Amino acid sequence: MDAQTGRRLGVWLIGARGAISTCVAYGLSGLRNGLLEPVGIATSRGPLGELPFVGFDEIVLGGHEVVRGDLSASAGDLVRNGVLSAELVAASAADAAAFDARIRPGALDGPDVGLADLDPEAARLGAAAQGEQIARIQADLEEFRSSHELDRVVVVYVASTESWREEREAWATLASLEEALERDAAELPASSIYACAAFRAGCPFVNFTPNRGSSLPALSELAREAKLPHCGNDGKTGETLLKTALAPMFAARALHVLSWQGYNMLGNRDGEVLSDPIRRESKRRNKDEALRAILSDPSVHTEVGIDYVPSLHDWKTAWDFVHFEGFLGVKMSLQFTWAGSDSALAAPLVIDLIRLADLAAERGEAGEMAHTACYFKSPLAGGTHDFHAQFRELLDYGERVLNGS
Amino acid sequence: MDAQTGRRLGVWLIGARGAISTCVAYGLSGLRNGLLEPVGIATSRGPLGELPFVGFDEIVLGGHEVVRGDLSASAGDLVRNGVLSAELVAASAADAAAFDARIRPGALDGPDVGLADLDPEAARLGAAAQGEQIARIQADLEEFRSSHELDRVVVVYVASTESWREEREAWATLASLEEALERDAAELPASSIYACAAFRAGCPFVNFTPNRGSSLPALSELAREAKLPHCGNDGKTGETLLKTALAPMFAARALHVLSWQGYNMLGNRDGEVLSDPIRRESKRRNKDEALRAILSDPSVHTEVGIDYVPSLHDWKTAWDFVHFEGFLGVKMSLQFTWAGSDSALAAPLVIDLIRLADLAAERGEAGEMAHTACYFKSPLAGGTHDFHAQFRELLDYGERVLNGS
Amino acid sequence: MDAQTGRRLGVWLIGARGAISTCVAYGLSGLRNGLLEPVGIATSRGPLGELPFVGFDEIVLGGHEVVRGDLSASAGDLVRNGVLSAELVAASAADAAAFDARIRPGALDGPDVGLADLDPEAARLGAAAQGEQIARIQADLEEFRSSHELDRVVVVYVASTESWREEREAWATLASLEEALERDAAELPASSIYACAAFRAGCPFVNFTPNRGSSLPALSELAREAKLPHCGNDGKTGETLLKTALAPMFAARALHVLSWQGYNMLGNRDGEVLSDPIRRESKRRNKDEALRAILSDPSVHTEVGIDYVPSLHDWKTAWDFVHFEGFLGVKMSLQFTWAGSDSALAAPLVIDLIRLADLAAERGEAGEMAHTACYFKSPLAGGTHDFHAQFRELLDYGERVLNGS
Amino acid sequence: MDAQTGRRLGVWLIGARGAISTCVAYGLSGLRNGLLEPVGIATSRGPLGELPFVGFDEIVLGGHEVVRGDLSASAGDLVRNGVLSAELVAASAADAAAFDARIRPGALDGPDVGLADLDPEAARLGAAAQGEQIARIQADLEEFRSSHELDRVVVVYVASTESWREEREAWATLASLEEALERDAAELPASSIYACAAFRAGCPFVNFTPNRGSSLPALSELAREAKLPHCGNDGKTGETLLKTALAPMFAARALHVLSWQGYNMLGNRDGEVLSDPIRRESKRRNKDEALRAILSDPSVHTEVGIDYVPSLHDWKTAWDFVHFEGFLGVKMSLQFTWAGSDSALAAPLVIDLIRLADLAAERGEAGEMAHTACYFKSPLAGGTHDFHAQFRELLDYGERVLNGS
């Protein structure tokens, strides 16, 4: 039997008609109506399953989107590509329509213009001063909370990878950021505008993308001040998950990894966006560091390629080649091919993080949620990249919660 | 700088001219003469590297063998197949010859007859009553210890996989075993004859094979009585290592593994022996259970094939296909190919286990060495099969040793 | 624009509700109603596309089946497994129902009993004397032809792999077969009963399975006497296709293939049937010989494994490992993984063969259709296994037809 | 028994101490002294083996090199990386030394400067006017022929990939080239300087690299005028060989290839050179066109990556992913991993081409050797890229030679 807390939790998805949000929405509906098992949802299984998480039917979805269209079109795409079943989509039509009606135009960041089907209203909103954008988003969040009588709203960023920008001085402290916003000189990326608005509206923030989000020192300060939990960056869904699960084995066995080449192919919107080198930069940065850290070897030769292969749609396919030296100087190899639906891998992690953020807020925890490191390529709170050690930290957290400590 | 204890440690290898022993012998020589780095030797690295292990130049090798030939022929084979370098073999010739001179004929077990080049003396010895065989082996071990002024002798079983036999009643207790030996009705497999002789001679015992070795209840009792540490069974070198490193990731992510097919190919003597279905049985039993345990799912469809492919020689090549279900009922897959030199993977584990067994004996530990579980497919002391959890137990043991507890 | 001959061609499918037949039926419907392109149908493309083949809308389907159920249930299974789209199934419902109504109970062979859901009527028919079975099938075929005013009926065998049986003396000549049938001592496998009935009814016969079908000398004689074309055995859909496309490259480059290991996994009814070792035998025999022939090397080490992995359903997944020696004695490797829908690969070949058999009959060709060798693992007319050479023969045949020779 | 013609054939290797030349030299020595079988040498096997090719012991090697060092150092590298065996190198020491003594400094092209260990003499020679360089090379070739009493000298270009340069107007005709050379304004790449010198010295020319070599219209004219055969460009050794052997299968089966992604990794000098994007350009151009041509589909999504992975040395490892659509719109995939020694794959092709060029010259054939297309990624004479069709053309040529036509 699913968890029940008596709370009503709002979840505000940025990128609300994207493939991940679509899978979250239809997935939650399927969990509620019994068409789906909670496969992939770690918070429903084993010892974590005993924590007082919000139930699937206690969640109300809303969100922002910059692309035109409706949720059923996104769902149709996912049916054609074997991610959603036609039965689930049919059975969840009413839930989906209700969610769709709660989606509002987001604010489009200038450098991210260029993709098809953009909502002109989003472009108009994105042209406003950043302070105004924040205020408007904050108002949307507050309106969502009050009109649906929600006990809390968690904001989840699942929009596209944004263009890489260098760190600005104004982002260093909350004071400098606020001062810069007043002059409209903050130059925040879109993800950080949303994080700022979330904190001002009293909402925990989850950043599932490689974008900066709440990782700016100024926003980290704001979160602590507002006593709000937040986590990110960049969901660890596929190839990096495997890397950080496998590399500890090489380290434990004292094997010498010489080269680790990784080639990723994907054909969804994320892939299309990443075929733009400036955006790819945000992604690659997060992928490169984990191996060196786990192997304690800055000299290991690694490469992470990301190629846009349209015919694959949502089916991310990655090939990794690990060349390593064993005893006696013998060179050996491991290679693996991972073929998974990017969105179906991401959606349950998003659901886990929603529940974990809500629980953390309920418990009065503030700042970076260090126990969620196993969900991210670049965890905000740092620590090891070793997936198994990260997961143990999550289990330890769960135990502390159960023991009331 | 390598460890130094001032002890002289004898290591008695059963299967002394096999590929693993050959790699251990040339490898230790290369470590001593500086031609090799301790790659693959976990006891030389990180926190484990600080434990008071015996140094590489404090080890003296001897052993039993049932096949005719000399060590340099085994080495030549490994050079031709790219495992040993010609330089190392040349530089280690004197060490190898000295070891070779200390190898004595072993006792050949009846059901294992059939391979080429068997030493007729081994067949003769194997035809004696099992009690006599044990006594002769014990005498060999004691003679080795005294004539080389060794502080201790560790016995390591690295011979071929033996024919599977059902458990006998006489193996249940030490008393019943001794009584049966007197009647020459114990029907011990060869590996257990050696384990028994080792314990009687006061030697720790390491079983690197899937054979029964010291796992019989009667021998476990004998080890505790003689206050000797022992460990086994079946070195976790390749495909199973990977499985037990990867499966915990699927469990942690609550992904539903539907099928896990594993195909192993190898062309060395071990492969030849395993092409005999009766012997393969010993091996497959150990490979099948780990996955079900880690995934907590007795219904997962698994298969482990082992095929003899002579052209591969020592290069074990394994392909695994993991079919799993994620959120939304989506089926995804992971496949990997592992290509490694079986002996170069095994040898450093054997060296680790020698050092760990010696340290345990030095510390007065008796019985199953539970902290060595990460080295075995079927650890004697049981516990989890999760490689990362097993390795953490080894690190914890190391910490306890350093803290003097 | 699709071909048009003005003929009406009946196609009688043995195994009419199996996955291949289901794909043929829905596929032809989709081609007619414009939902599908003729991808995978070589007779619609390039120079072959210019031959006077029967059009997709000139084909009328009927058939025999021994398993209960209806076509829409088979189709539902294929939708759930991502082979048929829900749209195609909906759009083709009327066509499918009409075909389903023309399916009659087949005759079940004794040794093949054991699978679930068998039609008791099929068991009853299979218990009759073989001569009677042949007469009944012949009557069904003739009734089909006359009641649908068909110009010709091609019989296609796409039922499950049957149990292997040794060749009987009675099969050597048509006279001895007829004599044995009279005594009910012919012991024909089911596939040959159908072939015999087809020829007696004046129908060309296509055997897409590894079963004996029309390959018995007696039936070959009958076909020549009846002036009917026939072809088989065992559709070359996946791994063997790849093998026979790749092996010629190794031969041309004078590379020395040492070992070629092939592991096939499948989870459909064919896989379930093949998990029975007696039936697997029929399959493996056909898979083993092609490599030796192409490489002109009887000593090459090959193995072909077939494992039943239910979670894969129709998605046959094969891994092949090719170990080869190049110049200087250097050992190298090629490995490939093929993941394809078995039925979606087979169905267009079946459609090609229907058209080719009809054309051959129209042209008065009798006996083994040697030009169809590229479609089979074990071509009736023998010749090379080199796929490229086989395909060239098909192109040459096409040219001869066009040139009126 | 090996062929014997009574001729003495000189072979002049440009890049004489590179890995390919080293393998050619030791390989020919091993073939002569019986340590090696002619594995990988198509001209020694099957029907081609009956052509009147020059024997292995009738070949005398010489060459140019721009990098310092000696052949035994190159050989040592290849021993350490498992390409040459220590036995072969020892047994061929005298042959190798004799060849080494016949190697002269080549002319280094300006844009190619930058690699370590360059011979300063080569830099000096490369700074001379191109006309002078050609004259000096021509003189070296003539001196080689006369001083070793050779019946013919074949020039083979196996140096590194050179920087890509746009086509110059002066290359369009022999007249314009000669005029430009006089003004030292020809701007020929190094490979074309050698081709020009070869033709002027009356030598057939083989270009095994993606460099321009003899493909300039002016040089093609010169070859015809001088009645000399020549061939190139870019040896088809590994991944492209596989592609052009496999793609025809997809075309024959009317399967729709959606995407073909190829990732190549290599760690030898060629890989190092190709990590320079300007040089990589020469290589990628040749790799991209074959697929589109064979599949008759300009829209197929293809990518060819080449990454420098130093730990692999000579072991080129390529992973290809083929995504294709079959009947019913079902998407399927084939992936393969090729792991081969680049030089051991190239060397026997070079030996084949030497013999074929010599035979063509002996028969008085002039111009592009169209029958050698199966050896090249970008055959000079054009035609199909289908490997099997190309090889058939070679067999047809062989038949014509044997039939005296």
The dihedral of CA C381, C386, C389, C390: what is its sign?
positive
A178 and A327 both lie in a single domain: no
- Work out the number of other CB atoms within 10 angstroms of the CB of residue C57: 14
If asked whether residues A396 and A354 sit together in one domain, one would say yes
Question: D254 at the C interface (CB within 8 A)?
Answer: yes
> Which tokens hold the place of C377?
């693992």
Contact between C321 and B321 using a beta-carbon 8 Å cutoff: no
Look at residue B376 in the predicted model and tell me its pLDDT.
97
* Domain contains A292: yes
DSSP letter assigned to residue B16: T
Mutate to test the interface with B, among A243, A330, A376, A394 (most CBs of B within 10 A): A330
Please say whether the beta carbons of B342 and B315 come within 8 A. yes
Distance CA D62, CA C35 (A): 65
Whether A26 and chain B come into contact, CB under 8 Å, resolves to: yes
Q: Tell whether A165 and A257 lie within a shared domain.
A: no
b/e sequence A135-149, b meaning 16+ C-beta within 10 Å: ebbbebbbebbeeee
Cβ D86–B86 below 8 Å, yes or no?
A: yes
| pLDDT grade for A112, boundaries at 50, 70 and 90 | low
On whether any CB of chain A is under 8 Å from the CB of D337, the answer is yes
Say whether both D15 and D124 belong to one domain.
yes
- Per-residue DSSP letter, C377: S
Residue type, A17: R
Tell me which of A35, A83, A85 to substitute to probe the interface with C (most C C-beta atoms closer than 10 Å).
Answer: A85
DSSP state of A364: T
**Residue finishing a domain among B303, B324, B340:** B340
B14: distance to nearest CA of chain A, Å? 21
Contact state of D319 with A321 under an 8 Å Cβ cutoff: yes
Distance from CA of C41 to the nearest CA of D (A): 6
D85–B82 CB contact, under 8 Å: no
Q: Determine phi and psi for B324, rounding to 5 degrees.
A: -140, 160
Mutate to test the interface with B, among C264, C304, C312, C313 (most CBs of B within 10 A): C312
Q: Among A288, A318, A340, which residue terminates a domain?
A: A340
Q: Is B333 on the interface with D (CB under 8 A)?
A: no
How does the average pLDDT of chain A come out, rounded? 92
C39 → chain D, closest CA residue: D327
Asked if C353 and C331 sit in the same domain, the reply is no
β-strands D301-308, A103-105: how paired? unpaired
Pick from B311, B333, B339: CB nearest C259: B311
The per-residue pLDDT for range A72-88, each reduced to its tens digit, is 999 999 999 999 999 99
Q: Which residues from chain A sit within 8 angstroms of residue B389, using beta carbons?
A: 388
* C1 pLDDT above the threshold of 50: no
Nearest CA to A32 out of A48, A55, A12 is that of A55
Q: Which CATH number does the domain housing residue A333 bear?
A: 3.30.360.10
- Shared-domain flag, residues D201 and D251: no
Query: Does a cis peptide bond (omega within 30 degrees of 0) precede residue D211?
Result: no
State the Cα–Cα distance between residues A365 and A382, nearest whole angstrom.
17
- Note whether C180 and C292 are same-domain residues: no
A85:C85 CB<8 A: no
pLDDT digit string, tens, across residues A288-310: 688 999 999 888 999 888 899 99
pLDDT at A287 over 90: no
* D327 to C36: CB separation less than 8 angstroms, yes or no: yes
CB contact under 8 A, C321 and B265: yes
Q: What share of chain B is helix, strand, coil (3-state, %, to 5)?
A: 50, 20, 30
What is residue B1's three-state secondary structure?
A: coil
Burial of C403 (0-12, 13-18, 19+ CB in 10 A): exposed
One domain for residues C260 and C389: no
Q: Residue A42 — φ and ψ, nearest 5°?
A: -65, -25
Pick from D303, D307, D319: CB nearest A319: D319
Q: What is the ipTM of this complex?
A: 0.95
Whether residue D27 contacts residue D36, with contact meaning beta carbons closer than 8 Å, is answered with yes
Mean pLDDT of D190-215: 96
More confident residue, C69 or D90: D90
Q: Which chains touch B (3 or more CB pairs under 8 A)?
A: A, C, D
- The 10s digit of each residue's pLDDT in D237-263 is 988 999 999 999 999 999 999 999 999
Identify whether residues A197 and A264 lie together within a single domain.
no
Task: State whether residue A329 sits within 8 Å of chain B by CB.
Answer: yes
Q: What angle (nearest 5°) sits at the alpha carbon of residue A53, between those of residues A48 and A54?
A: 150
Half-sphere exposure of B358 (CA within 13 A, CB side): 30
User: Given pLDDT bands bounded at 50, 70 and 90, which one contains residue D279?
Assistant: low
Residues of D in contact with C246 (CB under 8 A): 242, 245-246
| Residue C223 shares a structural domain with residue C265 | no
Tell me the count of B-C CB pairs closer than 8 A: 62
Whether C88 is covered by a domain: the verdict is yes
Give pLDDT, residue A268: 79
Chain A contacts of B326, Cβ < 8 Å? 39-40, 340-341, 344-345, 348
Instruction: Give domain status of residue C38, yes or no.
Output: yes
- Which class for B285: exposed (0-12), middle (13-18), buried (19 or more C-beta within 10 A)? middle
Q: How far apart are CA D378 and CA D283, in angstroms?
A: 10
> Crossing angle, helix C130-147 and helix C190-200, to 10 degrees?
50
Q: Is residue B3 part of a domain?
A: no
- Cβ contact A47:A399 at 8 Å: yes
Among the listed residues A323, A287, A258, A392, the one whose alpha carbon sits nearest the alpha carbon of residue B391: A392
* Dist CA B270 CA B314 (whole Å): 9
With 50 as the cut, is the pLDDT of residue D1 above it? no
Chain C CB within 8 Å of residue A81 CB: no
For residue C289, CA distances in Å to C231, C242, C256, C296, D141 come to 19, 14, 17, 11, 51
Burial pattern C16-40, b for ≥16 Cβ within 10 A else e, equals bbbbbbbbbbbbbbbbbeebbbbbb
Residues (pLDDT < 50) of chain B are 1
B124-138, C231-245, D271-285 — which is least confidently predicted? D271-285
* Residue B86 touches chain D, beta carbons under 8 Å: yes
Q: Which of A89, A328, A385, A396 to mutate to test the interface with B (most CBs of B within 10 A)?
A: A328
pLDDT(D79) > 80:
yes
Judge: C249–D387 Cβ closer than 8 Å, yes or no: yes
DSSP letter at A372? G
- Token readout for C134 is 């042949």
CATH number at residue B17: 3.40.50.720
Question: Which is it for strands B152-157 and D103-105: parallel, antiparallel or unpaired?
Answer: unpaired
Are the Cβ atoms of C344 and D336 closer than 8 angstroms?
no
Q: In chain B, what residues touch D80 (CB-CB under 8 Å)?
A: 85
Q: Chain C contacts of A337, Cβ < 8 Å?
A: 337
pLDDT at B111: 58
C261 — contact with chain A (CB < 8 Å)?
no
pLDDT at D201: 98
Residue C351 and residue C212 in one domain: yes
pLDDT, tens digit, for every residue of C104-128?
A: 998 877 655 555 677 888 888 888 9
- Asked whether residue D53 is assigned to any structural domain, the reply reads yes
Question: Number of folded domains in chain B?
Answer: 2
Distance from C-alpha of C6 to C-alpha of C58, rounded to nearest angstrom: 8
Last residue of a domain, one of C320, C340, C360: C340
Amino acid at B9: L
Q: What share of chain C has pLDDT > 90, as a percent? A: 80
Q: D38 vs chain B: nearest CA distance in angstroms?
A: 19
H or E, element range at C321: strand C315-325
Domain-embedded: residue C3 = no
The Cα–Cα gap between A267 and A19 comes to: 12
Chains that touch A (3 or more CB pairs under 8 A): B, C, D
Considering only CB atoms, B253 lies closest to which of A42, A83, A341, namely: A42
The pLDDT of C250-271, averaged and rounded, is: 92
Q: Give residues 212 to 251 of D whose Cβ lies within 8 Å of C.
A: 241-242, 245-246, 248-249
A393 and A358 in a common domain: yes
D321 touches chain A (CB under 8 A): yes
Of B259, B309, B321, the CB nearest to C259: B309
**Residue A2 resides in a domain:** no
Nearest to C141 by CA among C196, C79, C216: C196
Distance set, CA C128 to CA C103, C113, C160, C191 (Å): 20, 15, 20, 16
| Burial tier of A2 (Cβ tally within 10 Å: 0-12, 13-18, 19+) | middle
Which three-class secondary structure state does DSSP give residue A281? helix
Give the nearest chain D residue to C350 (CA atoms): D327
* SS3 (DSSP) at C238: coil
Q: Which 29-58 residues of chain A touch chain B by CB within 8 A?
A: 30, 36, 38-42, 44-46
Query: Are A253 and B388 inside 8 Å of each other by CB?
Result: no
Q: Which chain A residues have a beta carbon less than 8 Å from that of C86?
A: 79, 86
Domain with A311 in it: 239-340
Nearest-CA distance D24 → chain A (Å)? 25
For all residues of chain C together, what is the average pLDDT?
Answer: 92
Is residue A365, in this structure, part of any structural domain at all?
A: yes
Q: Are β-strands B205-207 and B229-231 bridged in parallel, bridged antiparallel, or unpaired? A: parallel
What are the φ and ψ backbone dihedral angles of D315, each rounded to 5 degrees?
Answer: -90, 90
Per DSSP, the three-state class of C260 is strand
Contact assessment for residue D357 and residue D154, using Cβ atoms and an 8 Å cutoff: yes
Three-class secondary structure assignment of chain D: CCCCCCCCEEEEEECCCCHHHHHHHHHHHHHHCCCCCCCCCHHHCHHHHHCCCCCHHHEEEEEEECECCCHHHHHHHHHHCCCCCHHHHHHCHHHHHHHHHCEEECCCCHHHECECCECHHHHHHHCCCHHHHHHHHHHHHHHHHHHCCCCEEEEEECCCCCCCCCCCHHHCCHHHHHHHHHCCCCCCCHHHHHHHHHHHCCCCEEECCCCCHHHCHHHHHHHHHCCCEEECCCECCCHHHHHHHHHHHHHHCCCEEEEEEEEEEECCHHHHHHCCHHHHHHHHHHHHHHHHHHHCCCCCEEEEEEEECHHHCCEEEEEEEEEEECHHHCEEEEEEEEEEEHHHHHHHHHHHHHHHHHHHHHCCCCEECHHHHHHECCCCCCCCCCHHHHHHHHHHHHHHHHCCC
